[in-house]
């Protein structure tokens, strides 16, 4: 065992020397915006629960009722006995929201991407992926024998060039992008990308983890502009929807194939019934109140306006600090003022682009957002000095 201890210890020491060791901080989320951490109550600007639905009374009641009726777990893979009827209800709701024929629910967004991508691609196929796409789109690509090539972030000309050069030499092409980029908060040009992909018979999949509930009137990044929709719209139930789980919306044939062959459906336990019930109740809120869904971006724009940053396009606003050390110092600084904004460091983001990633909730007070902006301005001024 000595070599194992030496391996783990050595890796950790090397990471620590670069300010890249990570530690868990037990955090109790008291409501949509306040968290308990280290014996203090902080206002969080780091949660992805953009609408506070994890604490919404109707969402909690739906989960509690399903828990009482169906128990805490689903008991098996969906294909055995784990397909609680609530999951099918949820799939119908997701498909309707996304204007798709059908949907498949997974245990998480990460499981969705690692199941979908190797099901749809294989030997002799090509995957084109945005360089800033989420880690689990990359992970799914690595599980496929298809050749994987990245295109420059949001660069349609580069994507078009790669499609022209490579389309003829492969059977099938899958194009992968975030709809709303998780660490930068910018949007993919979804409609233009869908049109481009269609002309090359390439299949576009958008990961709408940070889009649903907050852009496109709550329907997500495919609905920000008019125009063609991606044939594959993937997302998670764990951000604005406030619970846990992942999904894909697509045609009935694609969904039937995924349910038959995706390994993370076949060999992983079905979503707990309470999570399905919570998501349905959350979708009731999202579909019923487009104005509420617009609030997180409004809060984010208060912040970007106050700091003279480009107007936020989503509830995610990065403020760059460069080095991991500087980002951590800024985090600690804000914490002394009662704000939680967690530093994001490599390898989650590129070397030299460590940042504070601020996320805004419909439930934040405008006054707190403006106070935060003042504090961030001070921290940046101190760094520059």
Ligand X SMILES: *Cc1c(COP(=O)(O)O)cnc(C)c1O
User: Could you tell me which residues come within 8 angstroms of residue 153 by beta carbon, excluding any fewer than 6 positions away?
Assistant: 130, 131, 132, 181
User: Could you tell me which residues come within 8 angstroms of residue 186 by beta carbon, excluding any fewer than 6 positions away?
Assistant: 154, 180, 313, 314
Nearer to ligand X, 129 or 379 (CB): 129
Residue 319, H or E segment: strand 316-322
User: Could you tell me which residues come within 8 angstroms of residue 314 by beta carbon, excluding any fewer than 6 positions away?
Assistant: 180, 185, 186, 187, 210, 211, 214, 215, 297, 300
Reference 278, options 46, 30, 51, 36; nearest CA is 51
Reference 119, options 210, 253, 271, 276; nearest CA is 253
Question: Cβ distance 190 to 211 under 8 Å?
Answer: no
Distance CA 234, CA 293 (A): 19
Q: Which of 121, 238, 353, 361 binds ligand X (CB under 6 A)?
A: 238
Give residues 131-170 in contact with ligand X (rule: CB under 6 A): 134, 136
109 binds ligand X per the rule CB under 6 A: yes
**Whether residue 3 lies in the annotated active site:** no
Catalytic residue among 210, 229, 259, 299: 210
Residue 290 beta carbon to ligand X: minimum distance, rounded to whole angstroms: 22
354 binds ligand X per the rule CB under 6 A: no
Q: Which of 236, 304, 313, 361 binds ligand X (CB under 6 A)?
A: 236
Q: Is 265 helix (H, G, I), strand (E, B) or coil?
A: helix
Give residues 252-311 in contact with ligand X (rule: CB under 6 A): none
110 binds ligand X per the rule CB under 6 A: yes
Tokens for 377?
Answer: 């301005």
Distance CA 205, CA 250 (A): 10
Distance CA 262, CA 270 (A): 13
Number of separate helices (H) and strands (E) present in the chain: 13, 14
Residue 9 beta carbon to ligand X: minimum distance, rounded to whole angstroms: 30
Residue 169: C-alpha distances to residues 127, 195, 380 (Å): 13, 21, 50
Which listed range, 78-86, 191-199, 205-213, 218-226, lies at the site for ligand X (CB under 6 A)? 205-213
Distance CA 197, CA 167 (A): 10
Residue 115 beta carbon to ligand X: minimum distance, rounded to whole angstroms: 12
Residue 23 beta carbon to ligand X: minimum distance, rounded to whole angstroms: 20
Nearer to ligand X, 229 or 239 (CB): 239
Residue 208 beta carbon to ligand X: minimum distance, rounded to whole angstroms: 8
Residue 246 beta carbon to ligand X: minimum distance, rounded to whole angstroms: 5
**Whether residue 200 lies in the annotated active site:** no
Catalytic residue among 98, 239, 299, 364: 239
Residue 46 beta carbon to ligand X: minimum distance, rounded to whole angstroms: 13
**Whether residue 72 lies in the annotated active site:** no
Mark 239-258 with x for binding to ligand X (rule: CB under 6 A) and - for no binding.
-------x------------
Question: Cβ distance 250 to 232 under 8 Å?
Answer: yes
Distance CA 49, CA 43 (A): 13
Catalytic residue among 46, 141, 144, 182: 182
Residue 52 beta carbon to ligand X: minimum distance, rounded to whole angstroms: 17
User: Could you tell me which residues come within 8 angstroms of residue 117 by beta carbon, excluding any fewer than 6 positions away?
Assistant: 127, 137, 140, 141, 143, 144, 174, 176, 205
Q: Which of 207, 223, 376, 379 binds ligand X (CB under 6 A)?
A: 207
Nearer to ligand X, 32 or 220 (CB): 220
Nearer to ligand X, 182 or 353 (CB): 182
Q: Which of 49, 91, 130, 178 binds ligand X (CB under 6 A)?
A: 178
Which listed range, 105-113, 321-329, 337-345, 377-385, lies at the site for ligand X (CB under 6 A)? 105-113
DSSP 55: G
Owner of token pair 């691609």: 121
Find the largest Cα–Cα distance for the chain.
Answer: 62
Q: Is 246 helix (H, G, I), strand (E, B) or coil?
A: strand
Nearest-CB residue to ligand X?
109
Size of the site for ligand X (CB under 6 A): 13
Q: Which of 108, 154, 314, 353 binds ligand X (CB under 6 A)?
A: 108
Contacts with ligand X by CB under 6 A lie at: 108-110, 134, 136, 178, 182, 207, 209-210, 236, 238, 246
Q: Catalogue the active-site residues.
A: 182, 210, 239
């Amino acid at each position: 065992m000595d070599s194992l201890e030496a391996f783990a210890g050595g890796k950790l020491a090397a990471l620590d020397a670069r300010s890249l060791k990570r530690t868990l901080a037990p955090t109790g989320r008291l409501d949509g915006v306040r968290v308990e951490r280290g014996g203090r109550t902080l206002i969080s600007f780091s949660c992805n629960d953009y609408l506070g639905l994890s604490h919404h009374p109707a969402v909690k009641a739906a989960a509690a009722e399903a828990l009482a009726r169906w128990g805490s777990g689903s008991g098996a893979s969906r294909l055995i006995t784990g397909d609680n009827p609530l999951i099918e209800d949820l799939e119908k709701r997701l498909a309707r929201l996304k204007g798709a024929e059908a949907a498949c629910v997974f245990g998480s967004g990460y499981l969705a991407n690692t199941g979908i991508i190797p099901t749809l691609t294989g030997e002799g196929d090509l995957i084109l992926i945005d360089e800033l796409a989420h880690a689990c789109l990359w992970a799914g690509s690595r599980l496929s024998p298809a050749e994987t090539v990245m295109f420059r972030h949001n660069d349609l000309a580069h994507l078009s060039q790669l499609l022209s050069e490579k389309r003829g030499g492969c059977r099938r092409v899958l194009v992968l992008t975030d709809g709303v980029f998780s660490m930068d908060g910018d949007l993919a040009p979804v409609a233009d990308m869908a049109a481009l992909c269609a002309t090359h018979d390439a299949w576009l999949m958008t990961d709408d983890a940070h889009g649903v509930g907050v852009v496109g009137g709550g329907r997500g990044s495919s609905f920000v502009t008019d125009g063609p929709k991606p044939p594959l719209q993937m997302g998670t139930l764990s951000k604005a929807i406030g619970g846990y789980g992942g999904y894909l919306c697509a045609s009935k044939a694609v969904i039937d194939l995924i349910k038959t062959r995706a390994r993370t459906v076949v060999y992983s336990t079905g979503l707990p019934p309470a999570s399905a019930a919570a998501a349905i109740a959350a979708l009731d809120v999202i579909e019923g109140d487009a104005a509420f869904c617009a609030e997180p971006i409004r809060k984010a724009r208060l912040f970007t306006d106050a700091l003279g940053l480009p107007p936020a396009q989503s509830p995610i606003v990065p403020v760059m600090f460069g080095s991991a050390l500087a980002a951590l110092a800024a985090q600690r600084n804000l914490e002394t003022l009662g704000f939680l904004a967690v530093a994001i460091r490599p390898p989650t983001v590129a070397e030299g682009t460590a940042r504070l990633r601020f996320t805004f909730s419909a439930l934040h007070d405008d006054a707190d957002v403006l106070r935060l902006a003042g504090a961030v301005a001070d921290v940046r001024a101190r760094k520059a000095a």
